[in-house]
Structures are given as structure tokens and as C-alpha cells.
């Protein structure tokens, strides 16, 4: 190979590397990890809560995620979601009737797998995306039924004890937006699981970091 041809090949290689690096820095694809915190909500059905009405609860939740984005518009994610430990209390005390009601604490967590679709918008630093998949959800409830034989207090040994544990696999979906800074990205997301006991959902804010 003569000197001129070698110079052309070298220059072309240098340009290709530079362009590739610039694209990678502006819009990195590949394997990434992340985490987020936010407000988790649970609309607990009355048949599960042992109350006269459906119970709405919210608590601080968090999640961890590992994902891959092999194509600009398509990716996949594995997530662990923890919807926190909200409590509720319902008192049916109405003089001259005897005191009664329900007190309980819940814990909901899930492992999910999602396909992620990114909108093809012409803004390099911003992504808008939707996701759909399945989640294995675990729900635990522990509490007491309050009646005439015990006071309306968090600890009442004579009150009937209630417990519920459910595990099911359900449809899960969500949407979000992220702002990218090279390998890092800031995210805001909404996610929901169609669980039969109360359809937990979460609004979260977090960060991801692209590893490859």
C-alpha cells in the first residue's frame, strides 16, 4: 500500500472513530442500570382490607432497573419495584355502639420485565418512551379486627388477627421521559400493575447509567 492510500485509510479510520465516539456520547445505547424513588399508591379492595370501603394508601416507594437498548427505538428492562409499607385504620365507633374497626400494615413488591418503545423525536438529549410487560407481584397484609373485647389501639392482644398473602403475575405498563447527559440520564416515570387486590402504581424520579 502506497503512502497516499495509507494516509486516506488512516484519515477515514480516524473520522469513523471520532463520529462513533460523538454519537456514543450524545446518545449512548447498550446495557444500563439505574434506580428511582417516588410516591407509590395502592387502591386496596374492601374484600382484602376487611373494611366497609375500598382503601386508598400511598407511601414512599423505590425501584432498581437493568436494561438494554440495542436499537434507537427499542429496548427491554428488568425491574424490582417496592411500593413501600403503608398502613390504614378504620374505626366503626359510633356511640352508643361498641368500638370496632380494622388496623393493618401492607407491603407490596414486584419483579417485572418490560419491552420499551422510544418515540422517534428529533431531540437528541430527550427520550419519550412507553413500556409494557408482566410483573410477578407479592402482597402481604397483617393487622387486627377491633371489637367490643379490645380497645381501638395499634396493639390489642385480644383482637382477632388478620393476615393475607397473595402472589400473582399481571400485566404491567408505564410511560416516561428522560433527559440524557452522555452515559447518564435523568428519568421521570409512571408505572402500574393490574393486580387483582389493588393495582399498585408509582410516580418516580431517578437516574440511569449506561455501562456499554
Query: What CATH number is associated with residue 141?
Result: 2.40.160.20
Query: Is the pLDDT score of 4 beyond 70?
Result: no
Give the mean pLDDT of the chain.
82
- In degrees, rounded to 5, the angle at the alpha carbon of residue 62 between the alpha carbons of residues 58 and 67 is 135
Instruction: Identify the domain containing residue 87 by its residue range.
Output: 30-210
Any domain includes 6: no
- Is residue 212 within 8 A of residue 33, CB to CB? The reply is no
Q: Does residue 183 lie within any of the structural domains?
A: yes
pLDDT of residue 160: 75
Total domains in the fold of the chain: 1
Is residue 13 a part of any domain in this protein?
no
Label the pairing between strands 101-118 and 126-146.
Answer: antiparallel
Q: Does any domain span residue 90? A: yes
Per-residue pLDDT tens for 27-71? 556 899 999 999 999 988 777 777 767 788 889 999 999 999 999
Q: Which one, of 179, 164, 171, lies nearest residue 201 by Cα?
A: 171
Counts for the chain of helices (H) and strands (E), in that order = 2, 9
pLDDT tens profile 128-185: 999 999 999 999 998 877 765 565 555 545 667 788 899 999 999 999 999 999 899 9
* 80-89: average pLDDT: 91
Using left for φ > 0, alpha for ψ between -120 and 50, and beta otherwise, residue 155 falls in beta
R_g of the chain computed on alpha carbons: 25
> Would 9 be classed as within a structural domain?
no
Q: Are 192 and 38 in contact (CB under 8 A)?
A: no
CA distances from 79 to 82, 177, 191 (A): 10, 17, 11
pLDDT at residue number 184: 95
Amino acid at each position: 500500500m502506497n503512502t497516499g492510500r495509507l494516509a486516506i485509510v488512516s484519515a477515514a479510520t480516524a473520522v469513523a472513530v471520532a463520529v462513533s465516539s460523538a454519537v456514543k456520547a450524545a446518545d449512548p445505547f447498550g446495557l444500563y442500570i439505574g434506580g428511582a424513588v417516588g410516591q407509590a399508591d395502592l387502591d386496596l379492595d374492601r374484600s382484602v382490607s376487611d373494611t366497609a370501603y375500598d382503601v386508598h394508601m400511598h407511601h414512599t416507594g423505590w425501584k432498581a432497573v437493568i436494561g438494554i437498548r440495542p436499537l434507537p427505538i427499542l429496548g427491554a428492562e428488568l425491574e424490582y419495584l417496592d411500593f413501600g409499607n403503608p398502613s390504614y385504620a378504620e374505626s366503626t365507633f359510633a356511640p352508643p355502639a361498641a368500638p370496632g374497626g380494622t388496623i393493618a400494615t401492607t407491603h407490596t413488591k414486584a419483579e417485572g420485565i418490560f419491552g420499551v418503545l422510544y418515540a422517534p423525536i428529533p431531540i437528541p438529549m430527550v427520550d419519550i418512551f412507553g413500556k409494557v410487560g408482566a410483573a410477578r407481584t407479592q402482597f402481604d397484609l397483617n393487622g387486627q379486627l377491633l371489637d367490643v373485647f379490645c380497645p381501638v389501639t395499634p396493639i390489642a392482644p385480644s383482637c382477632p388477627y388478620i393476615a393475607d398473602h397473595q402472589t400473582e403475575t399481571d400485566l404491567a405498563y408505564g410511560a416516561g421521559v428522560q433527559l440524557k447527559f452522555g452515559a447518564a440520564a435523568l428519568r421521570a416515570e409512571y408505572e402500574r400493575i393490574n393486580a387483582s387486590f389493588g393495582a399498585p402504581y408509582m410516580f418516580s424520579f431517578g437516574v440511569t447509567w449506561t455501562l456499554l
